[in-house]
Chains A and B, each alone.
Chain A
């Protein structure tokens, strides 16, 4: 008996000892809060974020930023929480001690949108004095958005120390946003705040001012209303600039899709219903190039599009030459049969791609220089649209130069203007036909590379562009590249100015009606070809 008793006593002492040791590690509010991350409950996580962010503990920043990136791991069984660093090393979130490995039962703490906003706000408060300029700027922006009253003091102390002008402005705006919503701020402070936010003048400023409740002093409410009016006025002007940019961007997509058709249909006169499928083949070439790069040479991913451009040209051009030699050359001068044959061909190509690659969309990634956007004044310009515009113009100019300055270009123009005469001068017309069709198809393939960045890569990709392409070529004037350019941009801009007024569906119908009316008046399009070529 005594042995058993002493053993029990020993355990008791030992457990006391353990509790005494464990207390400092588990008792504090910070540690309690950290443990809450393991509950897998959104409300608990939200509470924990608040406590951790305001704890002043030096682990707060690593924990919250790990939470944002999905690197905060929680073990539901032991209620232990770990921070996995970007370098793969882990620490215990409650104590900061390094741990050898995170147990397998741990999983990343889950977030929803409400929590993401709290995380942003918390990180904003924590990184206001970060040594990194971009982080500070971002912190000021997120404080502006969350305008938590508790952050007033940190913002003011950061403002006092800040030397960078941009960050200083952002912090000033963040301070104004907090003061505007602070119930005990003075009227003067609030009026100043309204002025600061008015000077910012963007949609976020508008949102903030519109959110202001009705419980404000009369002078503040009045100032806010007039600020809203003035911001809306300037945004309205910007919005027409934005529409013009959208129009240019849509026009560049139309031009890119139509430019190959301007050769095969415009210059050669072949009603090529399979044009869209050449675009699709270009897009699938991009997909294949990216697949190869992903599996073999991941470092080259940023250049995948540059590699895909010549390949898409060769693949689509090659198929184009094959089509011309095997089908189209027997059908010259028979538009209806050409139409039927190329339409059938387009179905065959679609189904072939569907069989080879499957019916579902294929993922074509955007290299980092094609993603994101930048702000120009109050408008947002996305990089992918900008690069497509540049690319389109480059393709257009190269094509124009090719037709004008190279021997092949000369031969093409000669053959399309007067076949017999060209043949008598010793030009191999059938070879030129094949090459011209190949060129048009190849350019459609290049278009596919660019369009893969903004649209689905699916077997139906081409179908959505074929009607628009014909529209642009016919509207611009058949056989005239400049007409195609002007036609594409005119349609693009007209569409984008109609869309906000009439909606996307009616806008598109209105454009079609306008084109029909225009073609009635000028059957040869904007830029009609003059001279003998037209008569034949």
Chain B
């Protein structure tokens, strides 16, 4: 076998995209599809990636729903019927999410779907849920600017995570200079746009804001960490607001630790780093860096302690961590159960109408409520990383914060509200009194 000419290689490479797609498709087809079941069960769809890049985060959520269904069935199920999970694997492949969603609704006839992590996967399944009129519970913090009739957002909107975190840094740490660092995709870009507008409205000058984007899975953080250090040496207290996603966090924090950036000099507050992400890290150099969430495993309430105990027993792993999106699924699942029991039916139209106003206890001692804009009320906590990989809550909002579907900070959305109860509209303009409809 001799050296191939570069033409050969180029030809092979041009076909790589097609091959990759084919391979992905094959893998998807081979994945688990719904089990045949008797008619006396209510089917619950689980649409989380179990392979590919997002498997790291989404596998836990699949287990969470299976756990919740198991618990509910022990209590006798819903409406006298057992719940049955239908698990599919969209394999971190966004178009496949739409196909799998369609399969769940048309073939498996599920009554509700719990799923998605990335915004792009949610956007990909949206048309399917609208067309086939089903319900999606979406458990992850996201960029907002959306309110759909068929989707219930149990994760944090920007005003339930990003804005309170910035407020904390401004008031408690007296931060004057801001680095907004994020992975280059829709959630960090929108969140940073909102934060930039918010900071400016608080009198922060343009030159005191540095915005930096990196590709997915970025692993060489030397230059950026050095830049942050340089930006932080202008004599004003500096903090980093990180919307860096998933895998890129580990090398980022390692580089911070190695270059000696301590939390007491330049704190980093992260919106995507939870207990799960810290599991792959030596957290000793990171003590004091912050994360903003609506739930921490370390919060001591009877509900949370019971949940952790049952979860670890269910997974047969005494070290298994819990995290914020898991709690969002817990709240969403309980709300759905309550709504179904209220209308005594799993018909999506009836359940969608019944859900706003439904209350379910969260794991941190409060009671979350589904709002007319399909977002929920949540408390906001700021936690500091401890040496044992858990978070120590250093600040929390006095009460629950209502999720805004449309950011009040952005010009394009400050007049919009989502109201599926009175106005029956996801993007109602309060200035012009008009519903913009599905066009935007």
Contact = CB atoms under 8 A, between A and B. Distances in A.
Interface residues on B, range: 35 or more
B200 interface: no
Interface stretch (A31-39, A94-102, A132-140, A358-366): A358-366
Contact of B184 (A347, A363, A372, A505): A505
Contact of B23 (A207, A344, A524): A344
A268 interface: yes
Contact of A363 (B251, B280, B387): B280
B27 A347 contact: yes
Nearest to A383: B258
B173 interface: yes
A456 B280 contact: yes
Given A333-B1, A351-B51, A504 B233 contact: no
Interface stretch (A170-178, A394-402, A411-419): A411-419
B7 interface: yes
Given A360-B56, A372-B258, A456 B12 contact: no
A523 B10 CA distance: 10
Given A380-B260, A416-B1, A464-B219, A360 B235 contact: no
Interface string A326-370: 000000110110011001100100110010001111110110000
**Max chain A CB contacts within 10 Å: which of B10, B260, B276?**
B260
A503 B226 contact: no
Given A363-B280, A504-B218, A454 B254 contact: yes
A189 interface: no
Query: Chain A at the B interface: mostly helix, strand, loop or mixed?
Result: helix
B260 A372 contact: yes
**Max chain A CB contacts within 10 Å: which of B2, B236, B277?**
B2
A210 B3 contact: no
B6 interface: yes
Contacts of A433: 1
Query: Chain B at the A interface: mostly helix, strand, loop or mixed?
Result: mixed
A3 interface: no
Contact of B59 (A114, A359, A362, A529): A359
Interface in B53-94: 53, 55-56, 59-60
Given A336-B12, A339-B12, A505-B184, A269 B4 contact: yes
A504 B19 contact: no
B255 interface: yes
B15 A417 contact: no
A534 interface: yes
Q: Which 9 A-B pairs have the closest CB atoms?
A: A361-B280, A211-B235, A210-B235, A203-B233, A207-B233, A382-B258, A116-B264, A359-B55, A536-B2
Given A116-B264, A458-B56, A499-B223, 5 more contacts: A210-B236, A363-B279, A384-B254, A456-B247, A523-B7
Interface of A: 42, 70, 110-114, 116-117, 120, 203-204, 206-212, 235, 239, 242-243, 246, 249-250, 253, 268-271, 332-333, 335-336, 339-340, 343-344, 347, 350-351, 354, 358-363, 365-366, 371-373, 380, 382-385, 416-419, 433, 454-460, 463-464, 474, 478-479, 496, 499-500, 503-505, 508, 519, 523-525, 529, 533-534, 536
19 contacts: A110-B392, A112-B394, A113-B384, A211-B235, A243-B223, A246-B222, A336-B15, A339-B15, A339-B16, A339-B19, A360-B59, A363-B281, A371-B285, A382-B255, A417-B2, A456-B247, A456-B250, A496-B222, A500-B227
Interface of B: 1-10, 12, 15-16, 19-20, 23, 27, 50-53, 55-56, 59-60, 172-173, 184, 212-215, 217-220, 222-224, 226-227, 229-230, 232-236, 247, 250-251, 254-255, 257-260, 263-264, 267, 276-277, 279-282, 285, 288, 384, 387, 392, 394
